[in-house]
Chains A and B, each alone.
Chain A
Amino acid sequence: MNEHGEASSLSEDSDPTQAMTQSEVLPSDGLGKLAQSARSHQLGSARVTMYVIGFLTIAVNLAFAIFARPMVDSQFATEVKKLQAQGMQLDMQKIEELKAESVLATQISGGGFAALGVVFIILGMLVYRYPVPCTVLALVLYLAGQAMTALADPQMLVNGFIIKIIIIVALAKAIQTATAYRRDQLNLGT
């Protein structure tokens, strides 16, 4: 018996969530399980969102990395032609060095963002196990990734702006769902 006169078969260090016996399951837990099932479905939508973001990010940035050289070559050719038309003398050796650096930078940034896409997929896989950290990290990484892209090329921020807003809202709602899901898990002792 503990100090309040209640029969206690638990040690002080045991997990209180495991203390609920069959007789202690209350009718409201049925509603709780229903709510948890609904949230589980919503978390599934969050998982799909993360998978879509992940696969799209990988595909687009791998393409950038693979086709970096032709893209950089064509852009440099356009700029060189423009400058030569204005009568400027250009140091072709320096231009080749800059071109090589640009190709390397494009490949590394493409690879880096592709790795970010892999992270999104991993977060989607782990969302049921660690709902809150995964959804928070997904939103953080998405916002930061968009900010970096905007820094490199402001035009990219405008492209697909509405879709980006929809994704951000979806990830924010996923965080709310995840926190409620986790809270319901604790309340139901699962």
Chain B
Amino acid sequence: MDETASNDGDAIPVFLEQAEQSCRRCRKHYEMQAECCPSCGASNPENPSPHSSADTRANPNDQALLTVCLCYGVMLGAHALWGMVLSAGLTMTPEQLVRSTVLIDSIFCVATLIAWWKTRAIGRMDPLPSQSHSYEAREGLHAGDPPVISEEFSASGTWKSVLAAWLLALPLLALALAGNYAYHYVLTHFVGLPVDDDYLSQFGSLTATILIVCVEPALMEEFFFRGVAWKVLQPLVGRWGTLLVTSVMFGMAHIGVPLSVPALFGVGLFLGGMRLWSGGLLLPMLLHFLHNLTVVLYQGPS
């Protein structure tokens, strides 16, 4: 504490000075007995924790990140296994294909729910977007609890950006679809590689195709990439880093169609941008569903 404060008529009484101290990082006051600042997690040099920031095993953010990576690995492994089974030359009826796809997607859903459960202690879904980050204590937080980083709620312009996101969603989706189509057109007609994505004949019925190709990815992929992974990554790499990393994860997750990965990276950037702009998951989920539905209906049956 600054010595000059004791000479000032407005200085806090001595017994209060000793009970609290100022965090050297975020400048907020907290109890001297605490091991770290409850707002930003900076260690308390007066009362160092045996599990300091140097001990990464105790850090919940690191554990959450590894949980997300593990879940992602499980998802990749499940899809790779399914692809290997399909390419082994087994002929499946549409019903068998639907059942095996549902099984693989169920593995991904379970892994996502487990990742969500294990990372639920890491903050909360961030509220409406704002101009800057700030370290703020969550209500009811006690000294020693995991730090929470929440976005500052900016009073000016937040509802405007959400409204703008919803109003511009469909035109931007049209642009994203145009980009996707242009990429595949170039791949097919100029490079000469056939891209075969005939969903309707694969799954046999429009209902099954819409549920498997449109509804499930819109719900679970968005929940994982723009929900769980986003929440875990944002405190570590910031908003734009999270947008980039989750878009790469999203694109690379589609290993069944490796030639489409660059286009899907672009779609991931679009959906992540809408997540950032709207501040929630509803808009990206709707856009993802509409995007996939458009692709399925455009392809049509062979």
Contacts and interface: CB of A to CB of B under 8 A. Distances in A.
Interface of A: 1, 4-7, 16-17, 19-20, 24, 26-28, 35, 101, 104-105, 108-109, 112, 130, 132-133, 136-137, 139-141, 143-145, 147-148, 150-152, 154, 172, 175-177, 179-180, 182-184, 186-187, 189
Given A6-B5, A28-B48, A148 B25 contact: no
In the A-B complex, the 7 residue pairs with the smallest Cβ-Cβ separation, listed nearest first, are A144-B252, A5-B11, A147-B76, A147-B80, A151-B83, A133-B241, A26-B45
Given A5-B5, A139-B69, A147-B77, A104 B191 contact: yes
Nearest to A157: B80
11 contacts: A4-B29, A5-B5, A5-B12, A6-B22, A7-B4, A27-B45, A137-B244, A139-B69, A144-B252, A151-B255, A175-B62
Main secondary structure of the interface of A (DSSP, over half): helix
A5 B20 CA distance: 14
Interface of B: 1-2, 4-5, 8, 10-12, 22, 24-27, 29, 41-43, 45, 48, 53-54, 56, 59, 61-62, 65-66, 69, 72-73, 76-77, 79-80, 83-84, 87, 191-194, 233, 236-237, 241, 244-245, 248-249, 252-253, 255-256, 258-259
Given A7-B5, A147-B80, A104 B193 contact: yes
A24 B24 contact: yes
A176 B79 contact: no
B255 A179 contact: no
Given A28-B45, A147-B79, A35 B54 contact: yes
Contacts of A4: 5, 12, 22, 29
A91 to B, nearest CB: 18
B187 to A, nearest CB: 9
A133 B245 contact: yes
A105 B194 CA distance: 10
A143 B25 contact: no
A80 B241 CA distance: 50
Nearest to A10: B27
Contacts of A109: 258
A147 B78 CA distance: 9
Nearest to B59: A179
Nearest to B233: A136
A122 to B, nearest CB: 13
Contacts of A152: 258
A27 B46 CA distance: 11
